Amino acid sequence: MALTFAVAAVVIVLIAVVPFPRPADFDGEELRVIVFVVAITAWPMAWTFLFGPMFLGGPGSHFFPFIWFAPAMCVAVVILAANVNAPACRVRIPVVLLMTLLPMSLLPLVNDGRGGEVLRWGVWVVLMLAVLTTGRGVRLSAVAVGCRIGVLLTAPSIAVAVVCEPDVVVANCRVDKCGLAGHAITSPFSGNGNVLGLTLALMLPFALAGTRVGRAAMLVLASALLADLAGSRTALLGIAVVTVLHFALRVAYGRMRDVILALGLFSTLTISLMPAVLVYGDEAFALRGVLWNRAKAMIVDFPLFGQGPTAWEHFGFSSIIKANYSPHNAWLDMGVSVGLWGILVVVGSAVLLVCLASRRERETLIVYFCVLLAISTLESVFVPYFLGIVAPFAALLPFFVGRGDSAFGAEPKRDIWLGIKALGRNQDSISAVVQADRIRQPGRNLQRRPAAVDQEEML
């Protein structure tokens, strides 16, 4: 049954995303971002469930986890070098705000002499270089294509792993986690298949951007099949949230779209805050209650700046309870790691990013943050100050959208009508989105701009 689910997901994804847009539809900066998105999403999944168990055996290997992120690190350096040498280079303000947390997260590691964890911190710093700067800006369609390719490459890697390593990656599911597949994907590098489901759920808001209804439905179905196979209930919650919001926005117009986004954001934010502000017994939510209560006690001890990004991991080493890798709530995890000040910085950066985006980009970002908040109720995946264990790309992906400054946030009044006309002229949905973006930004073309234009934009 596990193989059936995996193969079905591969077939559905192929139908949903093929044919791909031509490389000529994107400029050099966007192509580099597409490669980075694939390297930070599909590549780690392939090594976690296929290549890692096949060639490395277990997490005791010296190559873990650097081989997981080495390609993305290389692309991040290339992106930074190319953007810095671009005449229209600008620094993304929300990312700069986030990077103020890096010294705060490094000091506890240095003071405690945790050399291996300092290296993990360094890996994260290199990955953040990919979103630090931008040239002419990255269109939403480029990020969407990167996520679709990521889903497309992840699905067959799981199918091949089920065929080649069934004894290692296919396990009997827990009674409370058994889905329709009857089995669960696992890995010696992740302990279970949760990371697979969460990765797909977090890519989905961007992957659905600009797709037709049929393709969007197939992407949702394929992601749900793999999330069920991964035994990830939290991922299925995230997929449900993005599905409801995405298809509701498809049929809404005008102020109704704003109402839908506001309700989604308010609902998911409220739910995600419940473990942090309410009192639960230790047995609540599959023993997550004991983790939440312990995290609250740790926050009370160091409320302002936290105890460092690996404080919870070290607490878990000596704890008499099964502490796992995080408190299983994003707000509590950030409170333990970087304190209330760090939470304010993270929230401020996300709000600034949304405010600086154009309207269509803003809607996709809000849907993404709704999914992130829903997942953050029971997991912690948004860790923008350290190399997180689960889906580190979650803290990078949204910052590729737009230019991250006020000069790129203006939206032409006739953008909706121009987009409709573009959709009518193009048969392929992805090409239609690219064409709509070209019309929306008439000064932006695929040819290199004259130096005078670039200088004028910088003023």
Q: Is 172 helix (H, G, I), strand (E, B) or coil?
A: strand
pLDDT value of residue 411: 37
Distance in angstroms (rounded) separating the CA atoms of residues 32 and 9: 27
pLDDT above 80 (res 394): yes
Distance in angstroms (rounded) separating the CA atoms of residues 273 and 270: 5
pLDDT above 50 (res 432): no
Q: How confident is the model at residue 415 (pLDDT cuts 50, 70, 90)?
A: very low
Beta partners for 134? 90
Written as one string, the DSSP assignment of 278-290 is S---TTHHHHHHH
Higher pLDDT, 439 or 318: 318
Closest to 66 in 3D by CA, of 44, 33, 38: 44
pLDDT above 50 (res 456): no
Which helix (H) or strand (E) is 353 found in, with range? helix 330-356
pLDDT above 90 (res 180): no
Distance in angstroms (rounded) separating the CA atoms of residues 51 and 382: 26
Higher pLDDT, 86 or 287: 86
Closest to 145 in 3D by CA, of 412, 427, 401, 367: 401
Is residue 447 situated within a structural domain? no
pLDDT above 90 (res 398): yes
pLDDT value of residue 63: 72
Token look-up 């839908």 returns 260
Range with the poorest average pLDDT among 133-147, 271-285, 382-396, 431-445: 431-445
CB–CB of 206/364 below 8 Å?
yes
DSSP code, position 322: -
pLDDT (tens digit per residue) in 330-381: 999 999 999 999 999 999 999 999 999 998 999 999 999 999 999 999 999 9
Is residue 354 situated within a structural domain? yes
Distance in angstroms (rounded) separating the CA atoms of residues 439 and 117: 47
Q: What mean pLDDT is reported for the chain?
A: 84
Q: How confident is the model at residue 62 (pLDDT cuts 50, 70, 90)?
A: low
Distance in angstroms (rounded) separating the CA atoms of residues 276 and 293: 9
pLDDT above 50 (res 439): no
Q: How confident is the model at residue 266 (pLDDT cuts 50, 70, 90)?
A: very high
Token look-up 């679709």 returns 148
Is residue 295 situated within a structural domain? yes
Range with the poorest average pLDDT among 171-185, 225-239, 275-289, 301-315: 171-185
Q: Is 301 helix (H, G, I), strand (E, B) or coil?
A: helix
Distance in angstroms (rounded) separating the CA atoms of residues 94 and 74: 23
Is residue 148 situated within a structural domain? no
Is residue 16 situated within a structural domain? no
Which amino acid makes up residue 394?
A
pLDDT value of residue 430: 45
pLDDT value of residue 24: 84
Using alpha carbons only, how large is the chain's radius of gyration in Å? 21
Is residue 56 situated within a structural domain? no
Distance in angstroms (rounded) separating the CA atoms of residues 170 and 48: 13
Q: How confident is the model at residue 318 (pLDDT cuts 50, 70, 90)?
A: low
CB–CB of 129/79 below 8 Å?
yes
Distance of CA 255 to the CA centre of its chain: 28
Say whether the peptide bond before residue 398 is cis (omega within 30 degrees of 0). Answer: no
Q: Residue range 316-330: average pLDDT?
A: 70
Q: Residue range 303-332: average pLDDT?
A: 78
Distance in angstroms (rounded) separating the CA atoms of residues 416 and 393: 31
Q: Is 205 helix (H, G, I), strand (E, B) or coil?
A: helix
CB–CB of 123/69 below 8 Å?
yes
Is residue 13 situated within a structural domain? no
pLDDT (tens digit per residue) in 182-216: 788 999 888 888 999 999 999 999 999 999 999 99
Higher pLDDT, 435 or 315: 315
The pTM assigned to this predicted structure is: 0.86
CB–CB of 240/168 below 8 Å?
no
Residues above pLDDT 90, as percent of the chain: 59
Which structural domain range is residue 358 located in? 257-411
What residues contact 337, with CB distance under 8 A and at least 6 apart? 105, 306, 307, 308, 309, 311, 312, 383, 385, 386
- Provide the domain count of the chain: 1
Closest to 72 in 3D by CA, of 153, 127, 148: 127
Distance in angstroms (rounded) separating the CA atoms of residues 133 and 388: 22
pLDDT value of residue 453: 27
pLDDT above 90 (res 132): yes
pLDDT value of residue 354: 95
Q: Is 165 helix (H, G, I), strand (E, B) or coil?
A: coil
Is residue 165 situated within a structural domain? no
